[in-house]
Amino acid sequence: MKKFTLGIEEEFQILDSDTFTLRSHMSKILEGGKILLKERIKEEMHQSVIEMGTNVCENITQARDEVSYLRQQVIELANKEGLKVAAAGTHPFSMWSEQHITPNPRYDELIAEMKDVARSNLIFGMHVHVGIPNREEGLQIMNVARYFLPHLYALSTNSPFWEGRDTGFKSFRSKIFDKFPRTGIPPYFSSVAEYDKFVDVLVKTNCIDNGKKIWWDIRLHPFYPTVEFRVCDMVMTVDEVTCLAALMQCIIAKLHNLHQKNQSFRSYRRVLINENKWRAARWGMEAKLIDFGKEEEVPFKTLINELLDFVEDVVDELGCRNEVNYVYQMLEQGSGADRQLKVFNETNDLKEVVKYIVGETGKGL
């Protein structure tokens, strides 16, 4: 089977060890981290966020090793500075208005353009790059893979709280990010030429300076030969990270195989897929999603089993059976959002929720 390489980026929260609030101390971690990790540790717009990114990984086993190593390193770097790190899509009670912005011309420009929309974008995601044979095929695969974004999103939901409130959503992160332009489910593109023309028009008219300012839930990466999944909340554990990454790799590999045989999976309109995304954000794994083929509501767990059946013939070739099968444990234990809400219902204390997230971030390392 063709190599569908993996790269995983994770955005972590930097916390005060006593209050468990967000702290704008990214530079303290970055200084020590750059020596050891070089390009695998990066600053973000808010100084209470640190991004860790793996090297290009040949398979899911290598990706798991890298993610585990990077999590160990960032936890140790934080501990040395008297800080903690947490993996969730939003911080349960910190206020965005109290966080410092990282001094950087790129971020200054973004703030100047978008004002409080950018300042309030204090959210944390996990991005997964899957290698593709070429851009033309990558685009066709991306068109079809859009259908599965709500499935992956529901599994990853991990941001039920925002500024001290239970939002009623399993993922409020996407509601915050929706305020940005060029986000959400991408439209269908019939060819790379059509896609490139779209990007060119945006550049020419000063909407963007390059394709990286297109922040869709899945995108053809402007610089790397990858399809990048950006829909997921930052998830708590390494097991959840590798399960989701393995599913994404399987989806790309399966759609590639179909493409090679001049077959495909049906492509659906963005407005329909958006209906499922909204349901995934609101109810997570408890959602009923729409089966557009049957034109009826179906429990999420039924659709996830259909997804597993769909990718079954590529799982062993990719060597990710254990990672993919972790879906069943996720269905049993609930998403990060479900577990956060359980802790809150038991303690009525959002600080205890953050302590729980911190514990899960280092689980199994």
- Ordered by where they begin, the domains of the chain are 6-361 (3.30.590.20)
Give strand ranges (E) for 194-346. 215-216, 218-220, 226-229, 288-291, 296-299
- List phi, psi (to 5°) of 334: 90, 165
Structure tokens at 290: 């729409």
Q: What parts of the chain have a pLDDT lower than 50?
A: none
Residue 1's pLDDT is 58
Contacts of 59 (CB under 8 A, 6+ apart): 6, 318, 319, 320
**CB neighbours of residue 189 within 10 Å:** 17
d(CA 109, CA 95): 22
Contacts of 245 (CB under 8 A, 6+ apart): 6, 8, 60, 63, 128, 323
d(CA 290, CA 321): 27
Is residue 293 classed as helix, strand or coil in its secondary structure?
Answer: coil
Residue 296: enclosing H or E segment and its boundaries?
A: strand 296-299
**CB neighbours of residue 143 within 10 Å:** 21
* 125 and 234 Cβ atoms separated by less than 8 Å: yes
- β-pairing verdict for 165-166 and 161-162: antiparallel
The full length of the chain comes to 365
d(CA 242, CA 19): 30
Residue 155: enclosing H or E segment and its boundaries?
A: helix 149-156
At CA 146, angle to CA 212 and CA 263, rounded to 5? 120
Residue 88: enclosing H or E segment and its boundaries?
A: none
Is residue 292 classed as helix, strand or coil in its secondary structure?
Answer: coil
* 183 and 216 Cβ atoms separated by less than 8 Å: yes
**CB neighbours of residue 34 within 10 Å:** 14
* 127 and 121 Cβ atoms separated by less than 8 Å: no
Is residue 46 classed as helix, strand or coil in its secondary structure?
Answer: strand
Structure tokens at 166: 């239970």
d(CA 199, CA 72): 38
d(CA 307, CA 151): 8
- β-pairing verdict for 126-131 and 226-229: antiparallel
d(CA 229, CA 263): 23
pLDDT digits (tens, 9 = 90+) for 34-47: 888 888 998 888 89
Q: What's this model's pTM, rounded to 2 decimal places? A: 0.96
